[in-house]
Amino acid sequence: MYETPLTGLVLSGGGARAAYQVGVLHAIAQLRRGCHVSSRRSPFGVICGTSAGAINAAALACNADQFDAAVEGLTQVWQQLRTAQVYRADSLGVVRTGAQWLTMLSIGWLLARWRKARPRSLFDNAPLVDLLAELVPLQRLPRMLRGRHLQALAVTASNYNSGEHVTFYQAAAPLAHWVRSQRISAPAELSCAHLLASSAIPFLFPATELALDGRGEWFGDGSMRQTAPLSPAIHLGAQRLLVIGVGRMVEQSGRRIANNGYPSLAHVAGHALSGIFLDALTADVERLQRINRTLALLSDEARVATPLRQIDALVIAPSQHLEDIAARHVADLPPPVRGLLRGVGVHSGGNAAHGAALASYVLFESGYTRELIALGERDVMARRDEVLAFFGWAAAEAAAGR
């Protein structure tokens, strides 16, 4: 049976930045072992993920009966990752998608008559299907739910047809689904297609068709128009939340990138992606904190009368700028991909102003992902006492030390 209070895990999106989440989880697993917690099960009864976070979430959920092994498996995959495992990085693959896509932007009016000259995205993520088959054993998910190792897994995606943000979820028992302005939920038997849709970064990766209300509709990355990333976990019953972001939650004022002339396409794209992936989580965490403070001011009778409830949340996010780390690893990308990105303004050389923000989302190379994993581990260990207190493991550690 999952642990009480029911703990929800929220993994945000961010392409290759999701390696940071794995480092955080690896350190948490290490702390739990150090406290001699006997259970092998996952400490998370509700797991929600968006974009690349949905892939990590699904991998954990499908192995909810063996948390340490699940985290170790994720860690090994991310530590050894290569770009070619996520999207076509060979010359032919880049020409068929990226080069044609950029060409369409410039002379599309001339080529529009030929449908074959209409690539759907900058990159072809066909290799990701094989990686997902290795990393996410979705056939185990029903067993995890039946065995009460897990209450629910949720994956979010954005509907290009309706503009709605949709949370697809699979649960151990029937749950009331929710409808809010521009965001809805839908029970579903989760599949590889849901993970591909949720992680389809706009313009970079192609949309995926999913069934919704008996009809096929096209979906892209779940971080788009995601105004309340904490909401699905709360609707699915979580009583407290561990939230792992992939960008700094509090930005110091005064950080500037040198003005080297008009911003490149890569600079603008990186800025836009940061807005898609990072800003909504920060705003929703602040909203949750305001609600908690308001509830704390109410009398017991007033708290009972309101549908709102206090949700404790532990938020762990990078202590460093991930684009600065990415800048050191742009040269690790395969030459065809480097050439393509150079055309939109991504340059290596250690300067984060040269499109490294965009590169930080597509840099699926082990040098970069290993650094992010190590950063996640350090950030958890720096907050060790806070993490132990959140999970209630401090007492177990003290008892083991007697």
Q: What is the pLDDT of residues 14-35, one digit of tens each?
A: 899 999 999 999 999 999 999 9
Residue 210 CB partners (closer than 8 Å, separation 6+) = 157, 168, 193, 194, 197, 216, 217, 218, 219
Contact between 207 and 280 (Cβ < 8 Å) = no
Tens digit of each residue's pLDDT (9 = 90 or more) over 118-139: 667 788 899 999 999 999 999 9
Say if residue 8's pLDDT is above 80: yes
DSSP 76-119: HHHHT--GGGTS--SHHHHIIIIIHHHHHHHHHHHHTT-GGG--
Nearest CA to 63 among 161, 123, 153? Answer: 153
CA distance 161 to 143: 33
pLDDT number for residue 259: 60
Residue 298 pLDDT level (bands cut at 50, 70, 90): confident
Structure tokens belonging to residue 87: 């999207």
Q: How far apart are CA 250 and CA 8, in angstroms?
A: 23
Question: What mean pLDDT do residues 265-292 have?
Answer: 83
What confidence tier does 397 reach under pLDDT thresholds 50, 70, 90?
low
Please state which of the ranges 64-73, 75-84, 111-120 shows the lowest mean pLDDT: 111-120
Is the model's pLDDT at 353 over the cut of 80?
no
Strands 183-187 and 46-50: unpaired
Residue 118, pLDDT score:
61
Q: Which two tokens stand for residue 155?
A: 């994956």
Strand duo 152-159 + 46-50: pairing:
parallel
CA 224 to chain CA mean position, Å:
12
- pTM across the whole model: 0.90
Q: How far apart are CA 87 and CA 363, in angstroms?
A: 11
Place of tokens 């970064």: 201
Cis ω for the linkage preceding 5 (within 30 of 0): yes
Average pLDDT score over the chain: 87
- pLDDT confidence tier of residue 4, bands split at 50, 70 and 90: confident
Per-residue pLDDT for 363 more than 80?
yes
pLDDT tens, position by position, 182-222: 899 999 999 999 999 999 998 889 999 999 999 999 999 99
